[in-house]
Amino acid sequence: MCIFCKIINNEIPSNIILENEEFMAFHDINPKAPIHVLAIPKTHVDSFNEVSPQTMEGMTKFMQDVAKEMGIDKSGYRVITNVGDNGGQEVKHLHFHIVGGAKLAWSHLSDADPMGKF
Ligand code: 5GP
Ligand code: ZN
């Protein structure tokens, strides 16, 4: 069972922000911003590549609710999902990073350096 499925099953503790039958949101263990939340479906899906449009419909509303719950819906935030090796996906259970609470730099995406090395 993957690490996020263990979190869903309460086998690994997490700091839950919001949850319903289908989705769960909890604080990232290694936050990259003042607010760094992970939103996941409770049914295991490997990545964005495999998720159904139907699941994304519910996920969209859920993430909007998480942003409101964290009080960042007005100030702004970023939603990120990493896919596969080049995307830097470490946990192979679909998750969306919801990051905010400060003015975010774009520069941490520059490590891809699309105009330089490649
Ligand atoms: P990825 O690199 O796959 O897009 O992101 C995985 C994220 O999961 C990382 O930001 C990492 O800090 C977070 N993470 C990994 N293990 C745990 C855990 O056991 N608990 C929590 N809350 N976050 C985790
Ligand atoms: Zn899983």
Catalytic site includes residue 95 = yes
Range 50-72 average pLDDT:
98
CA-nearest of 27, 29, 6, 23 to 15 is 27
CA of 71 to the centre of ligand 2 (A): 28
Range 84-111 average pLDDT:
89
Q: In a 3-state reduction of DSSP, which class is residue 100?
A: strand
Strand intervals (E) in the chain: 16-19, 23-27, 35-41, 77-80, 96-100
- Tell which wins on pLDDT, 48 or 115: 48
Ligand 1 pocket test, pick from 82, 90, 93, 95 with the greatest ligand atom count within 8 Å of Cβ, gives 90
Structure confidence at residue 55 (pLDDT)? 98
Residue type present at position 77: Y
Ligand 1 pocket test, pick from 29, 82, 98 with the greatest ligand atom count within 8 Å of Cβ, gives 29
CA-nearest of 20, 1, 23, 21 to 12 is 1
Place of tokens 């998480």: 66
Q: Which domains does the chain have, with CATH numbers?
A: 3-105 (3.30.428.10)
